[in-house]
Structure 1
């Protein structure tokens, strides 16, 4: 083993430490899926670098092939670690591409490319694998400073692989194995140093991301209403603040107020009232899954915050909400109970704050109550004037 490889043996040791640390985090908090992927990725990278550091350059090509395959696998797993935070996955097309490249560069096969060109193929494939995660990270970059840093680091890793591929491409290599060995002997320490720096940067950012997610998870646990398992007023306040800062804009508001709820408690008891609230919340949570966020703001009042991309469906969502509540069926002794809700919604206009939007939707709810309940009323603008209009 060369002196440079003896020095770089520290890299897999650091990767092993990162893998163990991330594995411990994954065991402690099983909801952190990204920690599992990251631990696996660093474990694979550690094995790959160890084999690469101890292998004989003139030895078995299958050992070299092992390092190439594990290198590809480690990259895909690392990209998945980043994407899993946003419920995304490495595209199947990338997995298929890596499998085809792995078959193509397999040694001692009639279709195998010239040995001199394998370096370019490996580096270019690595760049493409990393690039597959950039779109998802770019879309999430505004969620937090950690997400912005994650995008920057992954982009830098992609560019480093593309740069190494470019170096190999513009520097012709002779056809003999000795010329290939001489070429990479000169560049090996440079390439490995770049990989080491990028690998450690990725590890640090992953630890930052996972630490951020752990803290955020604890915060979110305090933002869940214990009875209904939807957001509570604390979550509502945070979402309103994030909207004010331009991070998670709110496009429309739906306010849901159960009709004559006090009668449920008076006639059936508070346990029955809790059952009704849980069932209503579960139905609202299912209805707004992927289209908005539901929070419980009072005893029998809920607010749904809808992002701008779902503005066109706001009235339909409000109507569907009324129907969903009215169609609820309960087991005995509540099997004869009929629950309805008065719904108010407001499609946010320019210059109107999210808090003002909730106030306008609240006024629409009051109108629905006075109009007989079990109604949907929208605070809409007609002829330049804001009016309350029953829609269902």
Structure 2
């Protein structure tokens, strides 16, 4: 298992981030125009394998509609500002203007406002009425409380997303969410996560989830490693969960669960490597928060940044790199890998000889540590 000695009394398994690996070209190349980036989960087809992260700095109802029309899968945070305030636009602008030393405290105050069930319904219907696939996200702690409003509004996909999600959460103080029963009783497909290793992923797959999010503390706005000491390098995490998918496919008699890499993918090469390690699609946060039209105005934050008791994230300045469309499809004005993400994925697939995303999952990968500039 590639274990090494940490010291005389502790051994650890070596794990790899996307910076530690590279893909290797095969014996053939392809015309980029022959490459397909299409992805389908359950009955829903998308032109690109990109899920927009449910974060207030990334997704508003308007940007969700625009992102869906660009071919991706938008996910709205149903515990964010858009379901707490009828018009959160001034608050989003305030968050972007806050001095760094005041950001966490003020964000805690802003997010203290109660979630309004009627706003959950209104936001989902707004996106649905625009004719795009609509997905909404809740944390496991609030899923049972607000799920009926999400379903009432006509959501297409239900996302249960937390820093880490377990199929076997144990509590002495409250009845935990029974994921298997909850998913079984729903009429819509569920994506759940995050997880970062084989066994938890296999347990989540057994709940009936259509997709599993892979990631823990790897995003640009996360400080989970420094706060809790917990971190899972993404290349190894995705490969471990892909192995769980393979074994569950045999165990279940052919039921395929999609693996979605979530976190640690700021540049186009990271997306290529995520799929090479076994991901079917990627969930992007910071990469899309750089859009001129993103709600964060060049800043990015997740729910961990305003946790009432133990913040495990920060509001970070990611800057802007053009419209969300340009970030996805170009043209690029530099070689940073932050714009034309899908053009880079298409080019990488053509250069390595693959025309379908599932084919790219079989590509040879080498360990080649590289220090980013």
Fold in common (TM above 0.5): no
Q: Mark the structure with the bigger radius of gyration.
A: 1
Question: Which has more helix, going by share of residues?
Answer: 1
**TM-score normalised according to structure 1 size:** 0.22
